[in-house]
Structure 1
């Protein structure tokens, strides 16, 4: 009985701790990492750093001065020199540390060994970033952050920037219109494309920008955001009237820029500009973001008359994509498929859309349309997205880089509430007033009195 009691006293808590750790690792990986994974990975890294670097081929022969110093002071063997390690910085999702590369090494050598480092230190993934010449940063991610997305609490919010998703290296994916003016987002039904657009609208709604929507699905996607929209077209006929208004607005802004360029010779150089951002703040027009949902509906035609209308709209979209950035007009084009089969001008328009986000698609050709011309190796990653992971996407740009991202869940009611609360930020743009959506007025029910009145009796 004494042995059984001792076994229960010792084995019971151990089994409880083991079971709790296993449950936390499966259901709450963040808690497991903070309590168990972080200390274990840090201990592995500190105890095996030199041997792991040597096994990965990331060491170099020591200098002659180092060899002479070691031989003069000790009799131990002179070992190869690994990159100098900086301070280990723990995070909520992993670890960060900087390495100063040894002479003759390059960041590509460390990036090529990332998979070996992941297994050696027992983490989910290792990412390498170049900080400056000779210095790289290792970002160790302790668990799969895309399985259950939680955006960082502190995200640097700035003008014309909207955090919309989380990258696989646990950093936020921020849609920056000043850096990437125009974007293309593709995805099949229930792939998370609408959730991406929802986050984008909610992020921009709090900023002093004009939001314009073209939603040819009768407005079912963008109509809930009507209080914050400066204009909304819900079918191709309305879009054919709205796009010329954007062209006129762009031309007016270019006239404003030209007027600033034609100033007196004595004007300082910093006041000469080629876009709206060089104009004085009191003269600068408000930036405008045009959101196009289901762009294929603008291309599909059934009659000769509709074909002429299609050609006009495509030409106007191409002009906005080519010339809109300097005028502060940005495009965000969304659809299920976008390629040459849509008709004349489709590929030309796609070439102007720098930012690319590809959610789950129905065929490989759709993934090639989104990513094949900028990051061919990302096409297979986009085709591997499972239907059980809505919101997961591949984000790339014309630099050739790409990464996996996933958009967190945002209820439509919350996004609509954000747009309703920021309705006062809708700018006054006379050119778009005829297209302003009708916002139904919410009737406020009178509050019932707390104390019921009683009739006065004689």
Structure 2
């Protein structure tokens, strides 16, 4: 009887702690990691570092001096030397440490063993990045950060830089228009494409940038942000009028740049520029970001007249994509499909869109349209996105790199409120005044009376 009581006294609390840890790990990984998971993974890493590196083939033969020193001081067996490990730095989502590669090793050797390291140290994923020649950084992620997205606190926005999503390695995905001026975003219905667009608009709404929208779905996507938009076209006819104005604005900016270049030979080199960012602050025009939602609507035609209008709009979009960067005009093109079947000029326009973001699509051909020409291996990752994970996407660029990202939830009402609060930042662009959307006046709610009114006695 006493043994049973002792077993209950000792085993009961242990079972409760173990069950609680398992439940917390499954349901609340952000709580489990800093309290339990971090300690366990750190202990595994410190206790098995040498043996794991040797099992992964990441060790090299020791130097002759090391062999002689070991034989002279001890009788231990001389073992292969693993990469020198730096200080382990814990984070809210995992661990970070740097490795100094041994002679003859390269970062690709460590990256090829990332899956083995993940299992050996009991973490969700391991990512390898090069810091400098001979030094790589391992980023260990303790849990699936894309299941419940929380943006890092350090992800602050700068001019034309907007953190819109979270990467699978727990770093923010930043949409940088200065680096990647134009982007194509594809996604099926309810894939999270609209959520991605909301974060872009709200992130830019707080910056001194002109926002222009073309939403051929009668404005259902961009009309809630009308308070912050400098121009909005809600059908192909209005878009056909707006695009030539943007092209004319781009040409005027090029004239401004050329006027700046026609200066005296004695002018310092730093004052000679080929884009608006080299102009003085007082002369630099405000950047313009053009959002095109459901781009396929601009390509659809029903009559010969519509075909002529379509060709003109596509030509103007291509001109903006080819020449807009230097003039400070950037394109954000969204749709469900975007390929050669849309018509003449579609492939040429897509080739100018450097950035690519592909949400869940209905077929493999749509994923190939977005990623097949820049990162073929990312097509399979895009096709594997489940419908239960809205906002999950694959982001790639023309460098061939790609990663999984997911956008946090942002309600339409909250996004519209941010745009209303930032309405005072709408820049003064005379060319776009006639396209400025009407902003409905919000009714003022009258305060309820403090008490019930009483009739006046005669």
Taking structure 2 as the reference length, what is the TM-score of the superposition? 0.98
In the TM superposition, residue 243 of structure 1 has moved relative to its aligned partner by 0.3
CA distance in structure 1 between the partners assigned to 2:327 and 2:309 by the alignment: 25
CA distance in structure 2 between the partners assigned to 1:86 and 1:299 by the alignment: 55
Tell me whether 1:140 sits opposite 2:140 in the alignment. yes
Residue of structure 1 in register with 2:319 after alignment: 319
In the TM superposition, residue 30 of structure 1 has moved relative to its aligned partner by 1.1
Residue of structure 2 in register with 1:248 after alignment: 248
In the TM superposition, residue 3 of structure 1 has moved relative to its aligned partner by 3.6
| Structure 1 unaligned regions, length at least 5 | none
Q: Is the 8 A contact 2:205 2:228 kept in 1?
A: yes
CA distance in structure 2 between the partners assigned to 1:274 and 1:452 by the alignment: 70
Residue of structure 2 in register with 1:231 after alignment: 231
Residue of structure 2 in register with 1:169 after alignment: 169
In the TM superposition, residue 457 of structure 1 has moved relative to its aligned partner by 7.7
| Structure 2 unaligned regions, length at least 5 | none
Residue of structure 1 in register with 2:90 after alignment: 90
CA distance in structure 2 between the partners assigned to 1:94 and 1:344 by the alignment: 49
CA distance in structure 2 between the partners assigned to 1:203 and 1:391 by the alignment: 17
Tell me whether 1:361 sits opposite 2:361 in the alignment. yes
Tell me whether 1:128 sits opposite 2:117 in the alignment. no
In the TM superposition, residue 449 of structure 1 has moved relative to its aligned partner by 5.0
Q: Deviation per CA, 1:164-200, whole angstroms, max 9, x where unpaired?
A: 1110101110100000000000000011100110111
User: 2:381 aligns to what SS in structure 1?
Assistant: helix
In the TM superposition, residue 447 of structure 1 has moved relative to its aligned partner by 2.6
Matches for 1:366-405 after TM superposition, within 5 Å: 366-405=366-405
Q: Deviation per CA, 1:374-422, whole angstroms, max 9, x where unpaired?
A: 0001111111111111111100000000001111111111111100100
CA distance in structure 2 between the partners assigned to 1:324 and 1:178 by the alignment: 12
In the TM superposition, residue 160 of structure 1 has moved relative to its aligned partner by 0.3
In the TM superposition, residue 338 of structure 1 has moved relative to its aligned partner by 0.1
CA distance in structure 2 between the partners assigned to 1:294 and 1:354 by the alignment: 18
Give structure 1 regions of 4+ aligned residues with deviation exceeding 3 angstroms: 1-5, 448-458
Q: Is the 8 A contact 2:356 2:396 kept in 1?
A: yes
In the TM superposition, residue 266 of structure 1 has moved relative to its aligned partner by 2.2
Residue of structure 2 in register with 1:270 after alignment: 270
Residue of structure 2 in register with 1:329 after alignment: 329
Residue of structure 2 in register with 1:189 after alignment: 189
Greater mean alpha carbon deviation, residues 9-18 or residues 33-42: 9-18
Taking structure 1 as the reference length, what is the TM-score of the superposition? 0.98
User: 2:152 aligns to what SS in structure 1?
Assistant: coil
In the TM superposition, residue 69 of structure 1 has moved relative to its aligned partner by 1.4
In the TM superposition, residue 453 of structure 1 has moved relative to its aligned partner by 7.8
Greater mean alpha carbon deviation, residues 333-342 or residues 32-41: 32-41
In the TM superposition, residue 154 of structure 1 has moved relative to its aligned partner by 1.9
CA distance in structure 1 between the partners assigned to 2:448 and 2:403 by the alignment: 55
Q: How many residues are paired up?
A: 458
